[in-house]
């Protein structure tokens, strides 16, 4: 009996460890105003695909966590906008937020990073707490319309990160799943997008 309890305990620990170290897969359920958070399940081997297949951001308006507007004008103001889609229900997303915060602060003025919390509208206070704990003080979007809504609805996995040029075109490949070398992976994605737009590559501030 005692051996059985020990086996059950170690099995539970292994299952919990697996849950916390894998990516999340999100079903196509995003729609404002929210009624239920998007469902997520574990995904051991996240896929990557071409970002352009997810849509564009040429015509939209969105609302930030602070209740402000974020529109195509904010996209047009930068050569590249990095958008990281995450969820409160996705542990790998939350674990990499401190790296995202550090990366965002090292970017030059012509590149910006914003996040989208796909289930943040259900619990804005929890969203603020998570972001504050991660040290991220940039823009986080909660909801929107037009191309923003279509893009959120087309996502299958969290976290997902895309790179958008000043015209709202998604360039390069979407980065899907938590990244061990987030800074290096994101920087390569930015420079790929800049090259496709005929812009000079960047390096990160020391």
- Reply yes or no on whether the pLDDT at 120 is more than 80: yes
Relative to beta strand 111-117, strand 80-86 is parallel
Contact predicate 87/141, CB 8 Å: no
| pLDDT tens digits along 150-202 | 999 999 899 999 999 999 999 999 999 999 999 999 999 999 999 988 999 99
| pLDDT tens digits along 28-61 | 344 454 444 444 434 433 444 478 889 999 999 9
Residue with tokens 């919390």: 117
165, 161, 63, 185: which is closest to 111 by C-alpha? 165
Give the C-alpha separation, 123 to 192, whole Å. Answer: 35
């Amino acid at each position: 009996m005692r051996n059985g309890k020990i086996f059950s305990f170690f099995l539970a620990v292994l299952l919990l460890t697996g849950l916390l170290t894998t990516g999340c897969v999100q079903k196509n359920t995003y729609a404002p105003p929210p009624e239920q958070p998007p469902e997520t399940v574990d995904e051991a081997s996240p896929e990557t695909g071409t970002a352009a297949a997810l849509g564009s951001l040429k015509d939209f308006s969105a609302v930030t966590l602070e209740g402000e507007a974020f529109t195509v004008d904010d996209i047009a103001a930068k050569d590249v906008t990095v958008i990281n889609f995450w969820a409160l229900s996705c542990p790998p997303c939350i674990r990499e937020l401190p790296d995202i915060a550090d990366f965002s602060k090292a970017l030059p003025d012509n590149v910006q990073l914003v996040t989208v919390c796909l289930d943040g509208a259900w619990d804005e206070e929890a969203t603020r707490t998570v972001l504050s704990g991660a040290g991220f003080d940039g823009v986080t979007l909660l909801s929107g319309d037009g191309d923003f809504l279509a893009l959120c609805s087309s996502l299958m996995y969290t976290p997902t990160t895309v790179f958008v040029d000043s015209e709202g075109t998604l360039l390069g490949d979407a980065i899907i799943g938590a990244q061990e070398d987030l800074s290096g992976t994101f920087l390569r994605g930015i420079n790929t997008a800049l090259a496709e737009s005929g812009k000079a590559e960047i390096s990160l501030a020391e």
